Structure 1
Amino acid sequence: MSGNRRNALLVSAALVGGAMLMTACQDSDSGTAQGSPSATAGDKTVSPSGSSASGSDQGGGKASGGQGAAAGTGSGKNGKVGKCRTDQLKITATDNTITGDADGTVTVHLKNSGGRECAISGYAGVDLKTNAGSLSAKRNGEKTNSLILKSGQSTDFGIYYPINKSGGSGVRVTGLLVTPPNETKSVTLHWPGAGTLPVTDGSGSPVKVGAVGNAGQGG
């Protein structure tokens, strides 16, 4: 083989090899370019419900986050309100007896001073301290109401007791113990009503307590 022909074959082989190398590089670049749009399209297919064509983990994570925020918002508006605790209530009592009534009335005021709204319902515990011992009030059977007290709002209930018309010294009242509904902590108050109660025959407490929110006149 002559030298010229050998050189021509070498040049031809080099040209073919170069062309193949360029084609491989173009295929590699083309593959990368095709991969990027695919990933972008996957990101855009996340639906409002959180499903994703690019993978359930990513879609589920986004859906979980969205649902959690919505649940949090709902809880803030419709969630349970805590009960009114003794420590957040300012409790006072006033004489509310009207001349001519058969029984005396003391009204107990419960003011929410805790800085947050609270729920209250039912009957408070009421005990009168007397020189003859403690006297527990009986519920008068009024229908109970569920109330939400915003900070600064108040509600009331009534205590109804017989007036001592016996002419005797009767039973001397020395104080008032109030326990808010569904609570165990009590507060001791000054008794603002009549100083004495008539002596009873021991057949039951003559003192009645009304439901919270129903501080009317009479028992």
Structure 2
Amino acid sequence: MRVTKITIAALAVAAGLSLTACQSDGDATSRSDSSAAPASPSAHGGPGSDGSARGAAKASAGKDSGAGQSTGAGTGSDKDGKTGKTGKTGKCRTDELEVTAADHTIDGDPGGTVVVEFTNGGGRDCALSGYAGVDLRTSAGSLSARRTGEPASRTVLKDGESVAFGITYPVNDSGGSGVRVTGLVVTPPDETKSVSLAWPGAATLPVTDGSGSPVKAGPIGSAGQGG
């Protein structure tokens, strides 16, 4: 009987050990399956997570960036609009002009006439308007011409084209030596740089009483009409 009881007890112990081993295997399998299962969406930035908020912010920033690029293109267009492309022709500069003077006095006229011509040599269209500055160098000092007061229109010169204006002055028929003219200084309209030329008109001017300059200059385009 003792042997039988020992055998039964041994079997019971073995059965208990086997059951414990099975439970341990089941727990291990459960833990292994749990570790192999995919992480929850919130662990990878899924909906409702901080990662999702960051992703949405980045997407929103990307959209905003695209809108900024669109606005930038518009700004570039505005800049192009501000580059001076207005279709207006710039004024003629002194260095772009060839300036010449010639005597145009006609027999029978009460006074003398000199015509000053501007020729555009700047390689571009340019405009002249108004009155040029005119000064005569004389033995008595510099003598500035007065404006005739005629209306002045704007003239656009293509490269190679010319425009002229007239200078009128009194002829010295007093029999005296008068005032000797030694040169002519011309300043194009709206410019400060002048051009010095030889005086092509009469050698002398009559002596004046100091009441004003006897020399007059017409506007651009008035060649032979100053008076």
TM-score normalised over the length of structure 2: 0.70
Corresponding residue for residue 163 of structure 1 = 171
CA change 1:77–1:214 in 2 (3 A) is: farther
1:134 to 131, 138, 142: 142
1:67 to 64, 67, 75: 75
Query: Percent identity among equivalent residues?
Result: 53
Corresponding residue for residue 28 of structure 1 = 44
Deviation, structure 1 residue 95: 1.6
Give yes or no for contact 1:157–1:210 (8 Å, CA) kept in 2. Answer: yes
Deviation, structure 1 residue 211: 1.4
Corresponding residue for residue 9 of structure 1 = 27
- Give the root-mean-square deviation of aligned CA atoms: 3.5
| Paired residues for 1:78-97 under 5 Å | 78=86, 83-97=91-105
Deviation, structure 1 residue 154: 2.8
DSSP 3-state at the match of 1:201: coil
Rounded Cα–Cα distance in structure 1 between residues aligned with 2:167 and 2:116: 8
Give yes or no for contact 1:163–1:198 (8 Å, CA) kept in 2. Answer: yes
**1:209 has 2:225 as partner:** no
Give yes or no for contact 1:157–1:215 (8 Å, CA) kept in 2. Answer: yes
DSSP 3-state at the match of 1:78: coil
- Residue identity opposite 1:4 in structure 2: C
- Residue identity opposite 1:134 in structure 2: S
DSSP 3-state at the match of 1:108: strand
CA change 1:217–1:211 in 2 (3 A) is: closer
Q: Which has the larger radius of gyration?
A: 2
TM-score normalised over the length of structure 1: 0.72
Rounded Cα–Cα distance in structure 2 between residues aligned with 1:61 and 1:119: 40
Rounded Cα–Cα distance in structure 1 between residues aligned with 2:178 and 2:171: 10
Deviation, structure 1 residue 176: 1.0
Corresponding residue for residue 7 of structure 2 = none
Deviation, structure 1 residue 81: 5.8
Q: How many residues align?
A: 204
Corresponding residue for residue 116 of structure 2 = 108
Gaps of 5+ in 1: 44-53
